[in-house]
Amino acid sequence: MRRVITYGTFDTLHHGHIRLLRRARALGDYLIVALSTDEFNSLKNKTAYFSYEDRKQDLEALRYVDLVIPESTWEQKASDIRLYQADVFCIGDDWTGKFDELKSLCQVVYLQRTPGISSTAIRQRIAVAAQ
* Cα distance between residue 51 and residue 100, in whole Å: 30
| Residue 114 banded pLDDT, cuts 50, 70, 90 | confident
- Which residue among the candidates 46, 56, 98, 103 is catalytic per the annotation? 46
CB 106 within 8 A of CB 89: yes
SS3 for the chain, per residue? CCEEEEEECCCCCCHHHHHHHHHHHHCCCEEEEEEECHHHHHHCCCCCCCCHHHHHHHHHCCCCCCEEEEECCCCHHHHHHHHCCCCEEEEEHHHCCCCHHHHHCCEEEEECCCCCCCHHHHHHHHHHHHC
- Which residue among the candidates 44, 56, 98, 103 is catalytic per the annotation? 44
Cα three-residue angle 94-15-90, rounded to 5 degrees: 40
Q: Domain 3-130 is in which class?
A: alpha beta
Whether 46 is catalytic is: yes
- What mean pLDDT value characterizes the chain? 93
pLDDT digits (tens, 9 = 90+) for 55-87: 999 999 999 999 999 999 999 999 999 999 999
Query: Is 120's pLDDT higher than 80?
Result: no
pLDDT at 49: 87
pLDDT at 125: 79
| Residue 31 banded pLDDT, cuts 50, 70, 90 | very high
pLDDT digits (tens, 9 = 90+) for 79-108: 999 999 999 999 999 999 999 999 999 999
Whether 103 is catalytic is: no
pLDDT at 123: 77
Q: Which residue has the higher pLDDT, 114 or 9?
A: 9
Q: Structural domain boundaries of the chain?
A: 3-130
Reported pTM? 0.91
